[in-house]
Structure 1
Amino acid sequence: MSQFQLLNNLDHHQTKVRHYFSTHYGDNLSSIPVFPTEFLALQHEYPLVVRHNADTNSFYAVALLGLAADENLYLDSNAPYGWDARTIPAMLAKGPFRIGFQQHGAHREPVVHIDCQHPKVSIQDGQPLFLAEGGNSPYLLHITALLDRIQQGLSLAPSLFNTLQQWQLLQPINIDYELHNGEKHRLTGNYSIDADALAALSSTALASLHSAGFLQLAFAMLNSMFHISDLIERKNQRLLAANTYHAT
C-alpha cells in the first residue's frame, strides 16, 4: 500500500531510490501515459498513440511498451538501469515520487512527495536524494525536473487534444501484426494522427496549429508510429530467445 510523505531532508536524509527498471518493481507495463511536454523526445523511441477516456470524454496519450498485457519489451537486465532505450517516459522514470500541493494563503505551491512503501525506496542502496553536506542531489534535481514536465504536460494536454479534435486530426486505428511463429494479432482502442487530414489542412489551420505549438507535436505523434515495427521485432526477438532457451 502506498504511503506518500512530504519529502524533506530531515526525515529522508538517508533515503535512497533504486533507479532501476524490472518486473520486480512493477515496471512490466504494456503502455504508460505520456505528455505533450515529452513527445519530441519520445517520438524517437516509442509508438505514441491516443486513447479515449469514456468516463471524462477526454483523450490522453500513451507510449506503447508491449503488445500484450503485463509485457514491457523495453525491460532488459543487460541494459543500463534495466531499460533498453535512451529516453524513459517520465511517468516511469519518476519512480516513487509525485507532485502534491501545499496551500499558502491564496496560492497552492507544488511540493514533492515520496511513497516510502515503494519497492525502489531503500536505506541500503540506490541514488541518494540529498547531499551529505546539504542540498538536493543531482538525482533529486532530475526527478524534480521530471515532475515539473509532467505537471506542465497535464496542463497542456486538454488544449492539445481539443485542438486536434477541432481539426478532425484524430482517427481510430487497428494495429495488425504477425509474429515469426505465424500468430496474428490485432490491437484496438487506439487513435493516431490522420496523415491525410493533416496534409489537407488549410494554410490558416496549419498556421493556427503552429502558433499554438501543436503542429510539431502532431508530427511527432505521427512519426512515432514507425516504431510499431520496432516493437514487433522486439517481440519476435523475445520469442526467438525463449525458444532457443527451451531448446537447449
Structure 2
Amino acid sequence: MDLELLNAERHLGLHQADASLERTHFVQIVASEFVTAAATCPIFLTKNSETGRFYAGAMFGFEPGENLLERAGAGRRGFLPLDVERQGYFLAPGGVAIDPGHPRFSAGRGAALFGADGQPAPALRRIQLVLGQLSAGVPETDAFIQSLVALKLVEPIDVDLSFDDGRSLSLAGLYTVSLDALGELDDAAALDLFRQGRLQLIYAMAGSLRQVPRLANLKNERLAA
C-alpha cells in the first residue's frame, strides 16, 4: 500500500464516498466510543493474533462478512466506529495521508476534500478530527485494558447461540469484565477506577452484553426472510 500525503495542489479534485460498515462484523473501538456503541451492539475484548494483547471491539455480526445491523437502519446510523469512518486515511509525519487506491476515493463523486480556495472542506475536517480522536484514544484504551488485567477483572465469556433454522454457533476468544471481581475490589482500587472515569467504561461494556440477544433476533429475522 503506497500512501500519499494529502495536499490541495495534488488532490484538489479528490472526493470521498461515505465510509461503509457493509459486511463488517467486528471493529476495534476506543474508550470514548464505548457508551455510544453499547446502545447498539455488544462490546468485547479479544486478543490481537500477532501480539497477543487485548483490544476492544464492537460486534455487528456473529461471523466474518456478516453485519446484522446493516438493515436495522436506526441502529446503524446511531454508531459508526471511528476506525471505519477513517477508511483510507492515515496519520503520517507531516499531516494526513491517504491510500489513493482505496475504493472510497474518486475524482468527482462524493464529498470534496478541498474547497476551491484549497482549504480543507467539511469532509476532510471531519477526518482530521477522527484521526485525532483515534490518536489519543488508542493509548487511552490500552491503558484502561491494562488496568483491567492488572486488577484481574478480565474473564473469558462463552457465547453459545441457537437459531431458528436449527443451526448453533459458539464464539471463542472473547472476553468481558467480571462484575463479581469488580465487587470484590478494595475501596481504594474501586475509588481509583471511579476517579479515572473507568467505572463508566466497565459498566458500558457489561451493559452492552444485552445486545447479544438483539443481534440473535436480527439473525433469525434474516434467516426467516
* Number of corresponding residues: 225
**TM value normalised by structure 2:** 0.92
- 2:177–2:205 Cα contact (<8 Å) kept: yes
Counterpart pick for 1:192 among 141, 157, 176: 176
**Match for residue 93 of structure 2 among 101, 104, 110:** 101
Q: Report the secondary structure of 1:112's partner residue.
A: strand
2:28 aligns to what?
33
Name structure 1 gaps, 5 residues minimum.
Answer: 103-110, 242-248
Measured in 2, the distance between the counterparts of 1:101 and 1:224 equals 37
**8 Å contact kept, 1:21–1:75:** no
Does the 8 Å CA contact 2:25/2:63 hold for their aligned counterparts? yes
Q: CA deviation at 1:20?
A: 4.7
Provide the alpha-carbon RMSD of the alignment.
1.9
How much has 1:55 moved relative to structure 2?
Answer: 4.2
Greater strand share, 1 or 2? Answer: 1
2:225 corresponds to 1:225: no
Out of 189, 207, 218, the residue aligned to residue 205 of structure 1 is 189
For 2:37 and 2:93, the matched residues in 1 are separated by 28
Equivalent residue, structure 2, for 1:129: 113
Q: Deviations over 1:93-132 (max 9, x none)?
A: 1121111124xxxxxxxx2111110011111211111122
Distance of 2:64 and 2:50 partners within structure 1: 22
1:58 aligns with 2:57: no
Q: What secondary structure is seen at the aligned counterpart in 1 of 2:174?
A: strand
Query: Percent identity over the alignment?
Result: 28
1:90 aligns with 2:74: no
Q: Normalized against structure 1, the TM-score is what?
A: 0.84
Shift in Å, 1:158: 2.4
How far does residue 11 in structure 1 lie from its aligned partner after superposition? 0.9
Structure 2: stretches of 5+ with no match in the other structure: none
Residues 115 and 238 of structure 1: CA distance in aligned 2, closer, same or farther (over 3 Å): same
Q: Which amino acid aligns with 2:12?
A: H
AA in 1 matched with 2:139: S
Aligned to 2:39: 44
